[in-house]
Amino acid sequence: METNFIGIINSYCQLNAFSLCLSYLLNVYRFTSDFEFISVLGKGGYGAVFKVKEKLLDMDYAVKIVSASDSEKALREVKTLSDLQHENIVRYYHCWIEDSKVQQEFLKKKLKRYVFSPLYLFIKMELCNSTLKQWIKVMNENEVQYSQRGADSLPIAKQIVTGVAYIHNNNLIHRDLKPDNIMFGKDGKVKIGDFGLITIDQSEELMERTKDIGTETYMAPEQNTSRYDRKVDMFALGLIFFELLWKMSLGHERSVVSHL
């Protein structure tokens, strides 16, 4: 996969050898020179997301760092985010590539576990204030009355549906909808993010797809097979809406709901 990643870079350079190669060289250590680290927002096998301040603009952003071994997934997310423009979709700004000479030291300091790679892809995105998972946690801890919780949940649910409808209208399936991947922007609006598992849905018939893709708790039963369509996102939405309205303190309770 790393070889393919380098091949992609070489292809880009061949298209415009001077400007693109020069741009790549100038951006080699861009992250540590142009951005000030603030905090770790999330991490996993796919990569890590950091809250940073861009020094020149004095503005905060989210930057996802992905190793070259995950390049196919990362580039799919970048391509999707650059094509999707909607108020309920996390805004993408741009991406760049850096080598690991400096970045591996940064990652060592900030992450207990990280994947070494000779190249890293950096994705600069809109910074969101919180996630739907955090919102649900607050609702559960404060034991908000059902009537009030329902009233607060309705506008959130409407925005999630609007965002998912936009994704589906662009012939795409998200495949990993869950409270962790639904956020609230600085403007208070719902933002759907994490498009690393997105796939095309252009056929009216069930297409052959990769099975067992997604987060198990929110996966539709048909995702355990290789034939499914955009309806798998609707299944996940149903579970998310259930969590919006009712307190489920245990993972077992979510599992029971998903198998109803």
- The pTM score is 0.77
Catalytic residue positions, numbered: 176
> What pLDDT digit, counting tens, does each position of 214-230 carry?
578 898 888 877 778 89
CA nearest 49: which of 144, 161, 134, 124?
A: 124
Q: pLDDT: is 103 or 86 the higher one?
A: 86
Q: State yes or no: 64 annotated in a binding site.
A: yes
Question: Tokens standing for 37?
Answer: 């680290």
Burial annotation 67-90 (CB, 10 A radius, 16+ → b, else e)? bbbbbebbbebbebbeebebebbb
| pLDDT for residue 63 | 93
Residue 198 has pLDDT above 90, yes or no: no
Angstrom distance (rounded) from CA 64 to CA 46: 10
Domain 130-258 homologous superfamily, CATH: Transferase(Phosphotransferase) domain 1 (1.10.510.10)
Residue 202 has pLDDT above 70, yes or no: no
For strands 92-99 and 172-173, give the pairing: unpaired
Domain boundaries, the chain: 2-126, 130-258
The secondary structure element, H or E, covering residue 187 is none
Mean model confidence pLDDT for the chain: 79
Question: Is residue 91 within 8 Å of 163, Cβ to Cβ?
Answer: no
Task: Lowest mean pLDDT of 33-47, 180-194, 209-223, name the range.
Answer: 209-223
What contacts 69, CB < 8 A, 6 or more positions away? 1, 2, 115, 117
Q: pLDDT: is 76 or 50 the higher one?
A: 50
Q: What CATH number does the domain located at 2-126 have? A: 3.30.200.20
